[in-house]
A and B are shown apart, each in its own frame.
Chain A
Amino acid sequence: MNPFLDPLAAIGRGVIGAARATGSLALFALEGVSHLLRPPLHWRMFVQALVEMAYFSLPVVALTAIFTGMVLALQSYTGFSRFNAESAIANVVVISITRELGPVLAALMVAGRIGAATAAELGTMRVTDQIDALSTLSTNPMKYLVAPRLLAGMVALPLLVVVADILGVLGGFVVSVMKLGFSADAYLRHTFDFMHASDVISGLVKAAVFGFIIALLGCYQGYRSRGGAQGVGAATTSAVVTASILILAFDYVLTELFFTR
């Protein structure tokens, strides 16, 4: 019991634990990616994961994007001077949706859906020996279960973000025209004036990274879960929580990369 050293030791333990977790996640990611780079790819698993991630996430992502665009328009109307509001609102909506809110909100919604489902599925496979069984049947579990999901994540999220971008702008348009009484023509003109390819593309790149993170965390937590139903439950929770935090952290890093040069 030492009042000075004990907190220090606790901090040290925390740091070591975090470093170890980061290291093992990075190794897992490397192994997964290395299987992606070496053929064959399990196409059936890829398509299945892609449909699950992209198609079945559409309603959630669509609703999120529409309401976000609507709120953005409303909020910026009250915030900005009424003078020149038309062009300002179109500007705010299209830039924030394509650069930030489209990718981040879509990723957070998909993290909740897919991160959890992936961790639960792989976790159950782990605790019921199914992952072990794969390797006795001439199948590498990383190649069969993880690699296709990583690729599906990187493809699915950009697709979803394209939809989110369109619907988010549409949400802002609807509020501006129907509620705030702006002219539809002028709003659309302003929107296209302010929309830059670089914004959209940087958003899609972000989306691909987020998709990778979601699939990676779901697979990682599921793959190493232990101890029956409780272990699978814990894996599911930490997959969603860590994926969400990493999404926000990487959002900052990528924004810094894209926009501050």
Chain B
Amino acid sequence: MSATPATALPPAGAPAEAPVPRIRVRGLCKAFGAKKVLDGIDLDVLPGTSMVVIGGSGSGKSVLLKCILGLIEPDEGVIELDGRNILALSRTEREAARARIGMLFQNGALFDSLPVWENVTFGLLAQRKLTRHEARERAADFLAQVGLAASVGALSPAELSGGMQKRVALARAIAAQPDILFFDEPTTGLDPIMGAVIDGLIIDCVKRLGSTAVAITHDMASARRIGDTAAMIHRGRIIWSGPAAALFDSGNPEVDQFTHGRREGPIQMELRR
């Protein structure tokens, strides 16, 4: 298996002297029991850029994001936000670091005891940036961003379709305009048009608000749309990273097979063995 150096390239037009990466991961390892899920992940995401992470189902993409968020304690490795190793911080400092990151969970993770409007504005209410009365009104704006009518705000999450839940969860993740955004499969379960709308929204967050984003996706078209850089996880490691535009002609056999969705190739061979 050929492994290319596992650092993300800066996007075209970046200044020559490399800026401090917003997110820097080195040698990240995590095992559940005997099962090694992450086995030495190295990753750099520069400020104001977005990275898409691709990889087979069960390859540890969600676990990677949860490790960076501090929701899963890694076994080994370094995770830096703006050059500060968050694993070495005290608990309160880690909480503060986590509040900088907005996360869209793969399954939405909406609070099902709260109505949609309160879900969407939860972070802002917690930071006391809004009163409940204002939150109720602002919720309509946040919902409109993800293509939902204001009337949805009064419903409870259980009354929504899967795709609607995903969009509410997305609205919740970006409402407080965090400077780091994690999206775990933002467009899975959405129709193609809504998928494109959501992609546009993510691009907007990065370009207009200057956020830094990491998105996991299985949708290659969407990966090329939203990513500046891309990385592929396979067997617990980043086996390739580079500009997202190069996903389809990466020259890496595993990536090639994955992005073109071929049955035959190095990955399939491993599954059969």
Contacts and interface: CB of A to CB of B under 8 A. Distances in A.
A129 B109 contact: yes
Contacts of A257: none
Interface string B92-124: 000100110111011101111100000000110
B158 to A, nearest CB: 12
A193 B199 CA distance: 77
Contacts of B103: 133, 136
Interface in B56-108: 66, 69, 71, 95, 98-99, 101-103, 105-107
Given A135-B71, A136-B101, A138-B123, A128 B95 contact: no
Interface in B186-231: none
Interface residues of A, number: 15
A22 interface: no
Contacts of A139: 122-123, 126
A130 B98 contact: no
Contacts of A140: 95
A136 B95 contact: no
Contacts of B98: 135-136
Interface residues of B, number: 24
A42 B59 CA distance: 39
B131 interface: no
A139 B110 CA distance: 14
A137 B126 CA distance: 7
Interface string A119-160: 001001100111011111111100000000000000000000
Contacts of B110: 130, 133
A133 B126 contact: no
B111 A136 contact: no
Given A136-B102, A136-B103, A130 B109 contact: yes
21 contacts: A121-B113, A124-B112, A125-B111, A128-B107, A129-B106, A129-B107, A130-B109, A130-B110, A130-B111, A132-B66, A132-B105, A133-B110, A134-B111, A136-B99, A136-B103, A136-B173, A137-B126, A138-B99, A138-B176, A139-B122, A140-B95
Given A129-B109, A136-B102, A138-B123, 19 more contacts: A124-B112, A128-B107, A129-B105, A129-B106, A129-B107, A130-B111, A132-B69, A132-B71, A133-B105, A133-B109, A133-B110, A133-B111, A136-B69, A136-B98, A136-B101, A136-B173, A137-B176, A138-B126, A140-B95
